[in-house]
Structures are given as structure tokens and as C-alpha cells.
Amino acid sequence: MSSPAHVPVLLDRVVALVAPALAEPGSVLVDATLGLGGHSEAVLTRCPQAHVVGVDRDVHALDLARKRLEPFAERITLVHAVYDEIPEVLAEHGIGPVQGILFDLGVSSMQLDVRERGFAYAEDAPLDMRMNDTTGMTAAEVLNTYPAEDLARILRTYGEEKFSRQIARAVVREREAEPFSSSARLVELLYDVIPAPARRTGGHPAKRTFQALRIEVNDELGVLRRAIPAALDSIDVGGRVVVMSYHSLEDRMTKQVFAERTRSTAPVDLPVVPEAHQPELKLITRGSEKATAAEIAENPRAASVRLRAVERIRRAA
């Protein structure tokens, strides 16, 4: 298996956002998308009082992160789970409300860089795309079994692909001759279906289709829809939740949940807002933050990141 590279996105900014909540002994950060452990390593280094609970659905990532974080073995707990299972993970380990939760969403460096995982469209590989490759349906199975209307819906909704219907019809036609198994054949089909003028703008013509398939295979938006409210309910007063999104669907969902939970529930014409109607959380970022031009030049994967963060300011009623 090829070796992955790893450059954590917005590393200093993430540490700066969570550090104030991790100053006390026994404070806990949940790294809900551990990956190769770059953000956790920085937090453990710069926040010496903190303990990290590192969660990932990818067993290969956990193995690599365990080696990387070995110097901090006494201050880290690694868990094989999906990030919408945070309440269950905390309960299982006897951990109460935590001081920080970090989500670095999307596909990890390791998953992109290891050819055999099938996430990247730049080289031929099996069409897998499972973040947990021990269970579940692969991208090839989605392509070979879904009806055309479902394929078109996935491409349109998750990939914002303008040519979703044309691509879906072509996939159904081609799979009758031979089922899809490799990324190169899918990329070739996309080049044939997407008109030349459209291929010249918006990045690689396979980017949107591969994103859509990955989101479907891993139920990424369903998991996120459950995970963010669960995370907000799992932090203590002064605790912070930081979410890094890499496409508009993730960021929109994060923005909506944060807006709802940082808004007063009192009627707008009340002169004084009763305590019970005060928001439990406050925004600590103005809108979404982006990577600097310098960071994007060093790490092109940072180009699409959008970061949002909130802090709990009072306990739930």
C-alpha cells in the first residue's frame, strides 16, 4: 500500500480556538475525525493539560495515528467509531461533558493519497471510497446497482453536477455491457459525457461525481446531520465546537445548526429576555473563516475549507 502524506489544514487557527477551553487539568478534546492525528498532535503539544479522545471510522488511520501519537499515549484514547456516535463513545469511557470537539470533515489525506482506496480520480484504482473499508457498499456497487434516477439525484444533490442525468443514463447503459470496477473507466465516461466547454471550467470534470459517490457511500451528510447537534449537547460551559467543512453542503448544514442554537427563543418584542430563552451557545467566528493565500500555496487542499466555531455559554435548562 502506498504511503500517505499529511498536512493539517488551519492547524494554528484550530489550536488557537480550542486552547482556551483546554487550560484546566483533566480537560478533554474529542477529535471526531482523527485522520492521521495532525491536529491532535498539535493540541497535545501546546495544551499540556488536555486529554484527547481520537475518533475515526477508518481502522488504517487509527493505526497510523497511534504510532504518530505514541509520545502522548497516556493522554490519548483512540476509538474506532463514526463521529455521530460521540455520545455513546463518551458514555462508554465514562467521560462527562467535554471541553472541545473538532470536526475536520471530508476525505482525509491518507484516504486521498493511498491509491488503493479509490478516492482519487487522478489515477486508476478500484472504485471503493469507503472510509471504513471493513463494511458497507462500495462506489462500484452504487454505480452498478442504483437506478438511473437515484444516480442522477446523488450526482445533482451531493456533487452539484449539471450533467447528472446524462451521466446517470450513460452509467446505466455502460454497466449493462460490463460492470464498473475501476476509477479510470468512470473518468473516461465522464470525459465522453460532459461537453468540452464545461470540462474547461470548474476543475477536473470527475471532481463532482467522485465527491457525490463518496458522500453517498459514507452517508456523510446523514452522519453530520446527527453529529453536530450531538456534539453541541456534549460540551460543558466554556466548551467549544469547531467544524471545518470542504464543500457547500457541509458548511450550509453547520451554519444552520449553529444559527439555530445561538439564537434566542424569546419573542422578538420582549424588552428583557428571560434566562430560559437565552441562547446556550455563542458564535466565536464571524461567518466562515478561510485559509490564507500562503497556506493554500503550501497546501492546496486548504483552498476549499470553511471553518466555524461556537462556545457554550450556559447550561441547558
Predicted pLDDT of residue 111: 45
Is position 39 annotated in a ligand binding site?
A: yes
Predicted pLDDT of residue 2: 38
Tell me if domain 11-110+220-312 and domain 120-218 are identical in fold.
Answer: no
Is position 37 annotated in a ligand binding site?
A: yes
CATH of 11-110+220-312, one of 3.40.50.300, 3.40.50.2300, 3.40.50.150, 3.65.10.10: 3.40.50.150
Is position 104 annotated in a ligand binding site?
A: yes
Q: Tell the CATH topology of 120-218.
A: DNA polymerase; domain 1 (1.10.150)
The whole-angstrom separation of Cα 237 and Cα 280 is: 9
Predicted pLDDT of residue 293: 94
Annotated domain spans of the chain: 11-110+220-312, 120-218
Cell, residue 188 = 473516461
- Distances in Å between the alpha carbon of 176 and those of 147, 148, 160, 168, 256? 12, 12, 26, 13, 42
The whole-angstrom separation of Cα 29 and Cα 31 is: 6
Is position 106 annotated in a ligand binding site?
A: no
What's the pTM value of the predicted model, to 2 decimals?
0.87
Q: What is the residue whose three cell numbers read 488557537?
A: 16
Residue-by-residue pLDDT tens, the chain, 317 positions? 333 445 789 999 999 999 999 999 999 999 999 999 999 999 999 999 999 999 999 898 899 999 999 999 999 999 999 999 999 999 999 998 999 999 999 765 544 445 454 456 667 788 988 988 888 899 999 999 999 999 999 999 999 999 999 999 999 999 999 999 999 999 999 999 999 888 877 778 888 999 999 999 999 999 999 999 999 999 999 999 999 999 889 999 999 999 999 987 667 776 776 776 789 999 999 999 999 999 999 988 899 999 999 999 998 76
Sheet holding 76-80, edge to edge: 76-80, 51-56, 28-31, 98-104, 235-245, 306-312, 281-283
Q: Which of 279, 290, 219, 204 is nearest to 249 (CA)?
A: 219
The whole-angstrom separation of Cα 93 and Cα 111 is: 28
Is position 6 annotated in a ligand binding site?
A: no
The whole-angstrom separation of Cα 49 and Cα 95 is: 16
Is position 247 annotated in a ligand binding site?
A: no
Q: Which residues contact 14 (CB under 8 A, 6 or more apart)?
A: 8, 39, 42, 43, 102, 242, 244, 307
The whole-angstrom separation of Cα 275 and Cα 140 is: 53
Predicted pLDDT of residue 135: 84
Is position 269 annotated in a ligand binding site?
A: no
Predicted pLDDT of residue 3: 39
